Structure formats: structure tokens, C-alpha cells
Amino acid sequence: MTKVKTRAVGFKAKMKSGVVDFSGITKVDVSNDNSGDYHFITFVLDDKTNLGLRFRPITSVLADSPFWIQPIAMGCPTNPAGAAMPGVVEPIFISPDATELTVINYNAKIEEMYFALRMVDSSGNGHDYDPIMNNQNGGGGGISLAEAATIGIGVAAFGAILYTSMYGG
């Protein structure tokens, strides 16, 4: 039976010597919950920079994506070449105020990955934060792409309803 886990991971952005300094995430461990589990991880930005940082929108153009990820052997993702892992971890929802990014991690195999949370400031300048993700499953299974699409649509709808109920927007 497929199980879903959800969690929020907060991080801060502040100015340090004229540069955006990120803190709060060094590694995101995704637990071993048996075959067929998957996780929604919501990254929550606490912007203390006065730059108006926001996640980039989810788009089909990888260069503009709010989330890059690749196997740890490839190093930190610094350009879009190879910086996506469809069916492993994918961005699925940005909050209306663009301070929260939700990704789905299918947790299908044991693997460490580097990822980058990609934001822009109110002037359009890019700012990336690149911690590590560690899948600890390895039980195989997982979910189909059709199930993933259904989940993604449901999460987006749930996020919109939740945001509207919380902020009246």
C-alpha cells in the first residue's frame, strides 16, 4: 500500500557582507518507510534580506525551474544540464506568495542527491541554495507516473484551497 509522508523544512535567507546567505538546511533525510512510500517536502523560505526573495515559478523550461537536483556523484547543480530527476524528486507546487515550494520524493531507491532551491529577488536576480537530499528507502516499488500526476494535481488543488482559507485570497 502506498503511504505518503509530508513535512515542512524551513530555511532562512539574510544578508551577510552584501551577499545573500542561506542557512537552516544542510541535509534532508527521507526515511525508509518500506516499499511504495513517497514524501511531500515543502521548503519554506524565511526571507530576512529585504530583497523580496521568491521561488521561481514551476515551468517546463529547466533553466527557469525553482528546483534542480542530480546524483551526488555529479556535484552541486549549477546549470540545467542533467539537473532534473523525473520519477525520483520533482517540484509540484509553489504557494501563491512564492515563499513555499513543495516537491514530491518518490523514495524508490537509496541515493544521495545534491539539490538547489532557486529563487529570484524583486529585481529579477537569481539566488540559489544547494543542500543535500538522502533517500534511505531502496525497497523498490514506488508509484506510477499516472499516480504521481494525480497526486500532483491533488496537491496543487489542496494547496490553493488551503492558501485561500488561510489568507482569504
Q: Write down the domain spans for the chain.
A: 3-167
4 or 153, which is more confident: 4
Q: Which pLDDT score, from 0 to 100, does residue 131 have?
A: 83
Q: What is the pTM of this model?
A: 0.79
126 or 35, which is more confident: 126
Q: Out of 3.40.720.10, 1.10.3720.10, 3.10.20.340, 2.60.40.420, select the CATH number for domain 3-167.
A: 2.60.40.420
- CB distance 31 to 65 below 8 Å: no
Q: What is the largest CA-CA distance in the chain?
A: 50
User: What is the tens place of the pLDDT at every residue in 2-33?
Assistant: 677 888 999 999 999 999 999 998 888 887 76
User: What is the tens place of the pLDDT at every residue in 74-102?
Assistant: 988 999 998 999 988 999 999 999 999 99
User: What is the tens place of the pLDDT at every residue in 38-72?
Assistant: 889 999 999 999 999 999 999 999 999 999 999 98
Beta-carbon contacts of 108 under 8 Å, excluding residues fewer than 6 positions away, are: 87, 88, 135, 137, 140, 141, 142
Residue 169 banded pLDDT, cuts 50, 70, 90: low
Whether 139 has a pLDDT exceeding 50, the answer reads no
Q: In 3-state terms, what secondary structure has residue 16? A: strand
- Whole-Å CA distances, 9 to 26, 34, 54, 68: 11, 22, 16, 17
User: What is the tens place of the pLDDT at every residue in 100-119?
Assistant: 999 998 887 788 889 999 99
Question: Which residues, listed in sequence order, are joined to residue 111 by a DSSP beta bridge?
Answer: 135
Q: Which pLDDT score, from 0 to 100, does residue 31 have?
A: 78
